[in-house]
């Protein structure tokens, strides 16, 4: 269920209202995706620094009081957390749209919990339709399990969005394969531009841009077959559909065509830090004051007020391309 508009919805200095909270449940994952985790792994936060399920619920409830109407659970891989089902159940009691981003490896174990908790939509990461390439990028051999779980979710009536991070020279030759996946399956493929995070060896040469993706689509389909869909005000995607296909595809162009003007998101890391932007180099600690019995609302409001207009101040592509400008966590410890 959705909470009515709140007069106190978190609003930054550019008039953007933040009603969407992304909560990372854990820094742990059962995959080792190259764009998400450094090859050498990461230093996990000590267990006592990770939010308990009660703390997650308390903080989420505070955000709901401040106008949040949508919560997405992320990781790491959120479902590897031992009390993931309990957290999902607790958060489902809040008046929000609850959803989740997962790598799909163990979603089959949570189908009943998802239904019980009112979860209707899931984002599932799948970066290649080739099993060997998928193993290369995830450093694990779970392709068949993930693909079958995507089919299971569809069969069970869930809306499934397939997240595909494109990397030049690796999987950019699969763009049309992914688009064709939407022909017979009601899936929503989302191509994501490769983004810089600590340890993922990002550079612009590896980027497959919005324009390059569209050029590939336009080369393989007639112009009258490609339907531009209407994007919602806060969408991060530019969405399309091939005429007669069951599903859709979209492009998330955080690098070449950022969507900052309509951003309504704020992120909470597994160790209780607010990030007001995916690319933010600064964070605000909520967990320490919460454990001290202090009000966290002023900290939340200050964090939103401090948000830059574009990509944490990197307001030009030249600034963004300069790797010295990036001082951020690994993706696995942010949650995307």
Lookup: tokens for 10: 């978190």
pLDDT digits (tens, 9 = 90+) for 248-274: 999 998 787 777 888 999 999 999 999
Q: Give me the mean pLDDT over the 27-40 stretch.
A: 78
Helix or strand holding residue 184 (H, E): helix 175-184
Q: Give me the mean pLDDT over the 100-116 stretch.
A: 98
Cis amide linkage into residue 113, ω under 30° from 0: no
CA 17 centroid distance within chain: 19
Is residue 303 predicted with pLDDT exceeding 50? yes
Q: Which stretches does DSSP call E strand in 81-186?
A: 97-102, 121-125, 159-166
Is residue 177 predicted with pLDDT exceeding 50? yes
* pLDDT, averaged across the chain: 89
Q: Give me the mean pLDDT over the 18-30 stretch.
A: 94
The β-bridge partners of 226 are: 242
Q: What pLDDT sits at residue 31?
A: 86
Counting Cα atoms < 13 Å in the Cβ hemisphere of 313 gives 8
pLDDT digits (tens, 9 = 90+) for 35-74: 777 666 677 889 999 999 999 999 999 999 999 999 999 9
The candidate with the shortest Cα–Cα distance to 20, out of 95, 71, 64, is 71
The candidate with the shortest Cα–Cα distance to 140, out of 37, 33, 36, is 33
Q: What pLDDT sits at residue 280?
A: 83
pLDDT digits (tens, 9 = 90+) for 131-170: 999 999 898 899 999 999 999 999 999 999 999 999 998 9
- CA torsion sign for 9, 21, 321, 305 is positive
Cβ contacts of residue 259 below 8 Å, gap of 6+? 235, 236, 253
Q: Please give the model's pTM, rounded to 2 decimal places.
A: 0.90
pLDDT digits (tens, 9 = 90+) for 85-106: 999 999 999 999 999 999 999 9
At residue 324 the predicted structure's pLDDT band, cuts being 50, 70 and 90, is low
> Rounded to the nearest 5 degrees, what angle is found at the Cα of 279, between the Cα atoms of 72 and 32?
65
CATH number of 10-333: 3.20.20.70
3-class state of residue 208 by DSSP: coil
The candidate with the shortest Cα–Cα distance to 22, out of 76, 93, 65, is 76
Lookup: tokens for 118: 């009112």
Domain chopping of the chain, boundaries: 10-333
The candidate with the shortest Cα–Cα distance to 331, out of 34, 11, 51, is 34
pLDDT digits (tens, 9 = 90+) for 188-210: 999 998 866 555 465 677 889 99
Lookup: tokens for 310: 């574009």
3-class state of residue 336 by DSSP: coil
CA 118 centroid distance within chain: 19
């Amino acid at each position: 269920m959705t909470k009515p508009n709140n007069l106190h919805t978190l609003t930054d200095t550019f008039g953007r209202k933040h009603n969407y909270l992304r909560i990372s449940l854990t820094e742990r994952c059962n995959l080792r995706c190259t764009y998400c985790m450094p090859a050498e792994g990461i230093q996990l936060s000590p267990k006592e620094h990770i939010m308990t399920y009660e703390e997650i619920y308390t903080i989420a409830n505070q955000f709901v009081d401040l106008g949040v109407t949508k919560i997405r659970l992320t990781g790491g891989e959120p479902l590897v957390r031992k009390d993931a089902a309990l957290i999902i159940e607790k958060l489902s009691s809040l008046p929000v749209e609850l959803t989740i981003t997962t790598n799909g490896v163990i979603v089959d174990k949570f189908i009943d919990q998802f239904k019980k908790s009112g979860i209707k939509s899931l984002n599932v990461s799948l970066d290649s339709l080739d099993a060997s390439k998928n193993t290369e990028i995830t450093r694990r051999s779970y392709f068949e399990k993930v693909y079958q779980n995507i089919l299971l979710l569809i069969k069970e009536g869930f809306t499934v969005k397939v997240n595909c991070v494109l990397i030049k020279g690796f999987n950019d030759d699969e763009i049309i394969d992914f688009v064709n996946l939407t022909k017979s399956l009601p899936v929503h493929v989302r191509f994501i531009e490769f983004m810089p995070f600590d340890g993922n060896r990002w550079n612009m040469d590896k980027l497959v841009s919005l324009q390059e993706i569209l050029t590939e689509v336009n080369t393989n389909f007639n112009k009258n077959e490609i339907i531009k869909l209407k994007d919602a005000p806060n969408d991060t995607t530019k969405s399309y559909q091939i005429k007669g296909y069951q599903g859709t595809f979209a492009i998330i162009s955080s690098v070449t065509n950022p969507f900052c003007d309509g951003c309504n998101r704020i992120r909470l890391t597994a160790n209780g830090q607010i990030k007001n932007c995916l690319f933010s180099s600064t964070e605000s600690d909520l967990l320490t004051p919460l454990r001290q019995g202090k009000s966290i609302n002023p900290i939340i409001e200050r964090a939103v007020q401090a948000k830059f207009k574009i990509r944490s101040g990197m307001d030009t592509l030249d600034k963004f391309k300069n790797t010295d400008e990036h001082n951020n966590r690994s993706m696995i410890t942010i949650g995307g």
